[in-house]
Amino acid sequence: MTLATAVFAAGCFWGVQAAFDNIPGVYSTRVGYTGGTLIDPDYQTVSKGRSGHAEAVEITYDPEKVSYRELLNVFFKIHDPTTRDRQGPDIGHQYRSAIFYLNEEQKDAAVAKVMELNRSGRLSAPVVTEITAARKFYPSEDYHQDYLKKRNLKSCGITTIPTSPEHTAPDLSGNSSFSNPFGHTAVAPSQKTAAADLHEHNFSSGSPERAAVAPSEKATASGRPGSDFSQKTNSFAYIEKEEEKADNKNFWKQKLTPEQYEVLRNRGTERPFTGKYVSFSDNGTYVCAACGNSLFSSESKFDSGCGWPSFDRALPGSVKFVPDFSLGMSRIEVVCSRCGSHLGHVFEDGPTETGDRFCINSVSMDFHPGKN
């Protein structure tokens, strides 16, 4: 038997794990943290929303019994993929909807599924699920593993645990307390974890409910982290600083030129054939002009004739993919995985074996010459 792995984030990982445990063909699951840059995160740091990590579930499955596409069906059935950084009462970047692909086949399947859902007309808003390359998965503390099963609880913000990977039509008549096209009801914080005991979560608010963290500790109204978390390691403090920069308009306006700010932070587009890297052919590495994150190798650059620098692949873990329905079009936006700045778009008409054409604004990048 050859097993495969899938990694999804869909809000509270307790309920997500319970949902996938119920699917025939799933061999095992474990909950944990991924998608961020903090090394060896724990629940206390991730729950503050500043580690960059999401609560996620790693699924080991038998592809002969259940396909990755069928797992995607389950994933989109058990949560609301149209809300950014929120599922029901759980608010924060750690509760984002995300698919962490482990290979190109999973990436293609995820993108195709998002496009299918958005074109179906069944959703009240576009899917905002993040599609990004998998990073290291950090298993969570033991008390979070199989949390609902251990307490004989059936759900955590998910009122319908699927018993098969079949993707049925969304129940638009459901009495959801938030706009969930799949008819699931957001469980109130007091109902969500009635069986949780205080020592397991150790919240400074003194509340046994997992969702009832004080707003200043968990998230602002915008879904971004609050600002009064004082216990930080040096590496964690750096990540907190980067998170604060991501939402600080004054910081970016001072750091970037007006043209860079318009493209990187306002998702603008430079005029074709005007960028300094369109016909540029030196050897080196292209990095994000906002934060310095390494993005593309010169070895992946090619002349597409489109008027913008083109690449057939990004460096592993360097970018994230976001569905983009602006200007009446259906595209996949490419953003920096570190600071979230807009880089360009990716299209499936590339001339190399990857089949991808990353169409990137020159102004979004800086260049570091030398060996890649």
Q: Which residues are catalytic?
A: 12, 359
> Distance between CA atoms of 131 and 335, rounded to whole angstroms?
11
> Mutual orientation of helices 68-77 and 13-21 as an angle, nearest 10°?
130
Instruction: Write the CB contacts of 324 (distance below 8 Å, at least 6 apart in sequence).
Output: 330, 331, 332, 333, 345
> Distance between CA atoms of 176 and 180, rounded to whole angstroms?
6
Buried b (16+ CB within 10 A) or exposed e, 166-176: ebeebeeeeeb
Residue 5 contacts residue 27 (beta carbons within 8 Å) = no
Closest alpha carbon to 343 in 251, 280, 269: 269
Question: What number of other Cβ atoms are within 10 A of residue 296's Cβ?
Answer: 27
> Mutual orientation of helices 68-77 and 104-120 as an angle, nearest 10°?
40
Question: What number of other Cβ atoms are within 10 A of residue 99's Cβ?
Answer: 28
> Distance between CA atoms of 131 and 115, rounded to whole angstroms?
12
334: enclosing H helix or E strand: strand 331-336
Parallel/antiparallel/unpaired status of strands 97-101 and 130-133 = parallel
Question: What number of other Cβ atoms are within 10 A of residue 339's Cβ?
Answer: 18
Q: Specify the 3-state DSSP secondary structure of 224.
A: coil
Question: What number of other Cβ atoms are within 10 A of residue 77's Cβ?
Answer: 21
CA torsion 170-172-175-180 (nearest 10°) is: 60
- Tell me, what DSSP letter sits at residue 271? P
